[in-house]
Amino acid sequence: MKPTLTLLFALVLAAGAHASEVYRTKDAKGQPVYTDKPVMLPAERLDVKTSSTDVVEARQRYDEQMKRYSEADKAQAEVAAKAADAQKAKELTAEDRAKRCQEARQRYESYMNARRLYEPGATEGERRYLTDAEIDAARERAKKTMEEFCSGN
């Protein structure tokens, strides 16, 4: 009988611990103060409901949230990697563009300084010299190419 009474007493104490009263008052600055023993009156009694936490459910919610965080971090890392790759490609493109600009400028200068221009023929030693109109057209194309690649430099 004594163990039954002890168990009953423990249950009554546990139930009383969950059903304690909560009061809200205001301090001298007007800030709300929540307490179980009000220092001054009037104090508003609040109806606070408590319940025990389901540990398994809380653990599942925690694991799901951590999984979402992990997926978000992975997605953010992928976006950052793509941005870094795009920046690197842009820099390579700028280097390539500078190289092409230099080559186009040299080609244009050589076309402008040359008295005669030629095209390679079918065999190794064969050449076909350009006419004056063709030389002017070649110089104009070289100038356009130079302006295209060197416009941002």
pLDDT cut 70: percent of the chain above it? 86
**Three-state DSSP string of the chain:** CHHHHHHHHHHHHHHHHHCCCEEEEECCCCCEEEECCCCCCCCEEECCCCCCCCHHHHHHHHHHHHHHHHHHHHHHHHHHHHHHHHHHHHHHHHHHHHHHHHHHHHHHHHHHHCCCCEEECCCCCCEEECCHHHHHHHHHHHHHHHHHHHCCC
pTM above 0.85, yes or no: no
Q: Looking at per-residue confidence, does 68 or 43 come out higher?
A: 68
Q: Looking at per-residue confidence, does 48 or 130 come out higher?
A: 130
Above 70 in pLDDT, residue 19?
no
